[in-house]
Amino acid sequence: MGALRDTLDLRILDMLQHDALLTADALAQRLPLSASAIARRIRRLRDSGAITGDVAVLSEEIGPFLSAVVQVQMDRHALAAVEALRRRLGASPHVQLFLDVSGAFDLLLLVTVRDMAAFNEFADTMLGSDPVVRRYETSFVKRRRKFSLALPLDIDAG
């Protein structure tokens, strides 16, 4: 997927990962390239997979929501059972972030639910009842200060 040809592609990606509604016309005012060339590049970046998709970001105020960071330590015995747990976690709409991490814990989750009752329900059914889960620790999110998918693009280094 070597679809990034030059620093202009990087600059286009960087602007779109902050605002995907920018038109090719608007981008053309900030880049030394015509709108039609920019539109072509955006299409190529999408088709090549450099842009995997576009998502609408919703306000937390449509909530209320309760979020928690859950660190999970697993037993490694049954590989199939581990895979099953992973599938369930990845498929849950309540799991926003799901990472394999190094250190004392194996998994780190960001779980978002409606309220504490829903969190307990989640923890009990997804984690507490699973024999693969040795233990887990929960930190509740007091405030979400930044939550961005934007990757840091070193524009110079292109």
Partner DNA sequence: GTTGAAACTTAGTTTCC
Partner DNA sequence: GGAAACTAAGTTTCAAC
Residues forming the site for a copy of itself (CB under 8 A): 1, 4, 13, 16-21, 49-63, 65, 67, 69, 86, 89-90, 93-103, 105, 108, 110, 112-114, 137-154
- Which of residues 62 and 80 has its CB atom nearest to a copy of itself in the complex? 62
SS3 category, 109: strand
Candidates 11, 15, 17, 33; binder of DNA (CB under 7 A) is 33
> Which residues is 73 bridged to in the sheet?
135
Instruction: Give the separation between CA 135 and CA 132, rounded to whole angstroms.
Output: 9
Q: At what angle do helices 7-16 and 35-48 cross, to 10 degrees?
A: 80
Number of residues in contact with DNA under rule CB under 7 A: 16
Binding mask 3-22 for DNA (x = CB under 7 A): --x--x--------------
Binding partner at 146 among DNA, a copy of itself, none, C-beta below 5 to 8 Å by kind: a copy of itself
In the chain, what is the greatest distance between 2 CA atoms, to the nearest angstrom?
A: 58
Mark the segment that binds DNA (CB under 7 A) among 27-35, 80-88, 109-117, 133-141. Answer: 27-35
Binding partner at 81 among DNA, a copy of itself, none, C-beta below 5 to 8 Å by kind: none
Buried-state track 106-117, b at ≥16 Cβ within 10 A, e below 16: bbebbbbbeeee
| Stated length of the chain | 158
